[in-house]
Structure 1
Amino acid sequence: MNQQSLDEIVKDVITQLHNNNEGSSSGIPIGVSARHCHLDKIALERLFGEGYELTKKANLGQPGQFASNETVTIVGPKGSIEKVRILGPLRKSSQVEVSQTDAFKLGLKPPIRDSGNLSNSSPITIVGPKGSIFLHEGLIIAQAHIHMSPENAEHYGVQNGEHVRVKVGNERRPIQFEKVLIRVSKKYKLEMHIDTDEANAGIVKTGNYGELLKAGSSYD
């Protein structure tokens, strides 16, 4: 076997492995979202000191969003969780997003909500190196959702606020997600977000793809 033939075989193998790992490029890329918090300026300064600014650790999938180097501890009536990462940039209101498993550990019953919908959500205490803050409401379990640009929404025939079903074709444990919220904005890049409990249930990893099965379902 000559070197050219060997190089072609290696190239074919790498291509096949890439296709198996990444799935169809026409599907919905999935990002698994671990527990994290978003802070407003007042909360950040109370936790880290006056004039403090977040420092970037890594960019996230959505344009302009990043994981910071800073972490906090969140505290509930039955327990606490350390090293909860803060995501940037700062927001108008502080909130904490956890999984159901996390909620059990904290001893709280947060509602499943779209990010930013904090009315009558669970209370939570956030502890930083310079102080702490108690949120009377602000702890949620994030509803599975898909970020889309207007062009993506047109391609899939869906609208902002609509709910759809998404199938992830994992051979070991295929799973179908129900009532996945569509979020459309010019600022968004196509990506579905699920939490760690949802990911573990279907052995789903960041970088896997999902298939949008049905649009226009009535769940409400």
Structure 2
Amino acid sequence: MQEELIKEIVKKVMDTIGKSNTIPIEVSARHVHLSKEHIEKLFGRDYNMSKKKDLSQPGQFQYEERVMLIGPKGILRGVAILGPAREKTQVEISKTDAVVLGINPPVRESGNLEGSEKIYIATEKAVVEAMESVIIAKRHIHMTPEDAKKFGVEDKQLVSVKVKSDRPVVFEDVLVRVNKEYKLSMHIDFDEANASGYKEGVVGEIIFF
């Protein structure tokens, strides 16, 4: 009887080890997703953007070109542009960036721009006013359907993640985003990275209260 109990306990421990809830964490710096219309206005008609590098998420990349963000109180220079072009321009910044610019963008999931902040985006050639475009990106996890099954979560679910650094914190309300094209990764901004003692290689663990 005791031997069977020991076997059952060992099995449960091994199952737990085999289902690691750790995920890689990446820091998402301030950046802009431009619409085709705004690319033409900022860089010129028929301008071909120059690809700099691929990003961790399949199909996403960074351009060589940069822009300025102009707010009521300040300017952020050298802001990265990510591709491919989107139907509507989206600007993702941190709360600290927002204070510098003098605006108050909402914390939102990517693509949810209704009622968000406006900003002026500039290059040496032109300036555009991007209405309802600025958000503070809600911290989130990209994962495939297979990952979701492994972790026991669903698309749009909110989970808590413990950052396993030398300054560990638990981030609540982390949005799970599931798509077969995604690569497993949690994205946080620089404010969150600094608060959690982030450095390259740090991972998070999904926890349930």
1:203 maps onto 2:206 in alignment: no
- Residues 129-138 or 60-69, more deviating: 129-138
The match for 1:115 is 110
RMSD over aligned CA atoms reads 1.2
Deviations 1:13-48 (A, max 9, x none): xxxxxxxxxxxx861111100000001100001001
Tell me how far apart the structure 2 counterparts of residues 207 and 48 of structure 1 sit (CA, whole Å).
37
Deviations 1:52-71 (A, max 9, x none): 12211111110011111110
Gaps of 5+ in 1: 1-24
1:150 to 134, 145, 152: 145
The match for 2:95 is 100
Contact 2:71-2:119 at 8 Å conserved across structures: yes
1:131 maps onto 2:130 in alignment: no
Aligned residues: 190
Contact 2:21-2:151 at 8 Å conserved across structures: no
2:85 to 90, 113, 128: 90
Contact 1:79-1:106 at 8 Å conserved across structures: yes
1:38 to 33, 53, 65: 33
Query: Percent identity, aligned pairs only?
Result: 52
Contact 1:147-1:188 at 8 Å conserved across structures: yes
Contact 1:32-1:205 at 8 Å conserved across structures: no
2:207 to 191, 206, 213: 213
AA matched with 1:68: Y
- Residues 112-121 or 50-59, more deviating: 50-59
Contact 1:32-1:206 at 8 Å conserved across structures: no
How far the C-alpha of 1:92 sits from its partner, in A, is 1.1
AA matched with 1:210: G
AA matched with 1:204: Y
Deviations 1:150-183 (A, max 9, x none): 1111111111110000001212x11111100000
AA matched with 2:43: F
The match for 2:177 is 183
Deviations 1:102-156 (A, max 9, x none): 0000000000000110000001110023211101210000000000111111111
Tell me how far apart the structure 2 counterparts of residues 130 and 206 of structure 1 sit (CA, whole Å).
37
How far the C-alpha of 1:207 sits from its partner, in A, is 3.2
AA matched with 2:60: Q
The match for 1:15 is none
1:169 to 164, 171, 175: 164
Contact 1:30-1:205 at 8 Å conserved across structures: no
1:181–1:193 CA distance, 2 compared to 1 (3 A): same
Tell me how far apart the structure 2 counterparts of residues 136 and 40 of structure 1 sit (CA, whole Å).
12
AA matched with 1:43: H
AA matched with 2:145: P
Query: Per the alignment, in what secondary structure is the counterpart of residue 155 of structure 1?
Result: helix
Tell me how far apart the structure 2 counterparts of residues 65 and 128 of structure 1 sit (CA, whole Å).
22
